[in-house]
């Protein structure tokens, strides 16, 4: 994942386990109090994350990337990571979760031809993943590079081994074939659309004032396999509140070959626009703590 979690990895296996224990056996309130010293520790010790946050916030209208804003930004990230513990252990009742435009997902599911749920490192992916599993009773597999050695992965996997098994590891050469087989059964595939993976084809999109690379894969695959794409966001709005937003981006219709590249670029730009709309409204939900605009075509 990000530099932030790599860093957490090195120094803080004990803290992670302790927080996890307190979250599940003492209270969320106490665990949340501990997030402040942790936030300050990372603010002080991780110059790269601090700088990335500062640079990002400067791009958001109405924000200037001050030290306070950076601290709130890091705090939001740690709060969302903490809540993963509750979502993974199925404790949704603790939260007030407002779901918007869910009928778009229901409609796609009822067609039984599978669908791609396109998420991002904005807000909580876990709330979406766990809630989708619980509400729709339809299998959802997540495509990601899985670092089995990462302590945070191990700790969270232990909390819910069933969800851990529902990952398709992109490091595996057969990953996309597994994806195709999953969709052919009418099941759902979740993937993240805001980071370009190794060796992947890129699309340059306009995002918060500048061009930056996004992956061509999600819509290219959707078009090849004729499945719809729904953009979804699990936004943390403070306290115990989350908002889930769905947006149908592509209906799965074949695109004529001579227009394919252009259309796929436009679809991705449409998705990037919805990322931008969400982070402008909820700037502290952006969880890419590295120099995001550095990678250009």
Partner 1 sequence: MIVNLRRSFNIKMSNLTDLESELGELLITNLNLEDIKLEDIDSEVALFNEGLGLDSIDALELGMLLSTKYGIKLQSDDPDFARIFSSLRTLAVYVESNRTS
Give the interface with partner 1 as residue ranges (CB under 8 A).
173-178, 180-181, 199-201, 217, 220-221, 224
For the CB of residue 269, give the shortest distance to partner 1 in the complex, in Å.
Answer: 19
Given the complex with partner 1, which of 161 and 173 has the nearer CB atom? 173
For the CB of residue 115, give the shortest distance to partner 1 in the complex, in Å.
Answer: 17
Given the complex with partner 1, which of 136 and 180 has the nearer CB atom? 180
Chain position carrying tokens 């520790």: 41
Given the complex with partner 1, which of 139 and 240 has the nearer CB atom? 139
Residue 213: alpha-carbon gap to chain centroid: 17
Given the complex with partner 1, which of 180 and 280 has the nearer CB atom? 180
Partnered with residue 100 across adjacent β-strands are: 245
Strand 202-207 relative to strand 115-119: parallel, antiparallel, unpaired? unpaired
Buried b (16+ CB within 10 A) or exposed e, 36-51: eebbebbbeebeebbe
Given the complex with partner 1, which of 167 and 175 has the nearer CB atom? 175
Given the complex with partner 1, which of 1 and 143 has the nearer CB atom? 143
User: Which has the closest alpha carbon to 77: 117, 42, 101, 106?
Assistant: 42
Indicate the DSSP class of residue 101: S
Given the complex with partner 1, which of 31 and 267 has the nearer CB atom? 267
For the CB of residue 188, give the shortest distance to partner 1 in the complex, in Å.
Answer: 17
For the CB of residue 120, give the shortest distance to partner 1 in the complex, in Å.
Answer: 20
Q: Which two tokens stand for residue 7?
A: 């860093």
For the CB of residue 211, give the shortest distance to partner 1 in the complex, in Å.
Answer: 22
159 contacts 16 by C-beta, under 8 angstroms:
no
For the CB of residue 6, give the shortest distance to partner 1 in the complex, in Å.
Answer: 25
First and final CA of the chain: distance in angstroms? 22
Show the beta-strand stretches assigned E in the chain.
96-100, 115-119, 140-144, 167-169, 188-192, 202-207, 210-215, 229-236, 241-250
Residue 28: alpha-carbon gap to chain centroid: 22
For the CB of residue 284, give the shortest distance to partner 1 in the complex, in Å.
Answer: 34
């Amino acid at each position: 994942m990000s530099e932030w979690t790599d860093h957490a990895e090195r120094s803080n296996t004990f803290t992670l386990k302790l927080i996890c224990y307190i979250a599940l056996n003492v209270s969320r309130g106490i665990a949340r109090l501990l997030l402040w010293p942790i936030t300050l520790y990372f603010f002080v010790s991780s110059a790269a994350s601090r700088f990335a946050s500062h640079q990002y916030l400067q791009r958001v209208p109405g924000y200037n990337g001050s030290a306070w804003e950076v601290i709130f930004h890091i705090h939001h990230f740690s709060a969302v990571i903490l809540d993963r513990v509750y979502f993974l252990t199925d404790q949704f009742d603790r939260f007030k979760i407002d779901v918007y435009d869910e009928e778009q997902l229901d409609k796609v599911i009822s067609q039984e031809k599978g669908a791609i749920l396109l998420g991002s490192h904005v807000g909580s992916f876990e709330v979406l993943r766990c809630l989708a599993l619980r509400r729709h009773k339809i299998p959802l597999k997540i495509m990601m590079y899985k670092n089995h050695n990462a302590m945070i992965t191990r700790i969270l996997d232990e909390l819910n081994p069933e969800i851990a098994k529902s990952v398709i590891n992109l490091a595996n050469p057969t990953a996309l074939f597994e994806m195709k087989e999953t969709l052919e059964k009418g099941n759902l595939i979740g993937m993240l659309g805001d980071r370009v993976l190794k060796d992947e084809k890129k699309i340059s999109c306009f995002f918060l004032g500048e061009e930056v690379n996004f992956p061509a894969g999600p819509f290219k695959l959707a078009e090849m396999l004729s499945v719809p794409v729904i953009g979804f966001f699990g936004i943390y709005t403070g306290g115990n509140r989350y908002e889930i937003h769905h947006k149908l981006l592509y209906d799965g219709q074949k695109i004529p070959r001579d227009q394919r590249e252009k259309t796929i670029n436009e679809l991705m730009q449409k998705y990037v626009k919805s990322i931008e709309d969400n982070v402008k409204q909820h700037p502290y939900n952006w969880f890419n703590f590295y120099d995001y605009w550095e990678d250009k075509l």
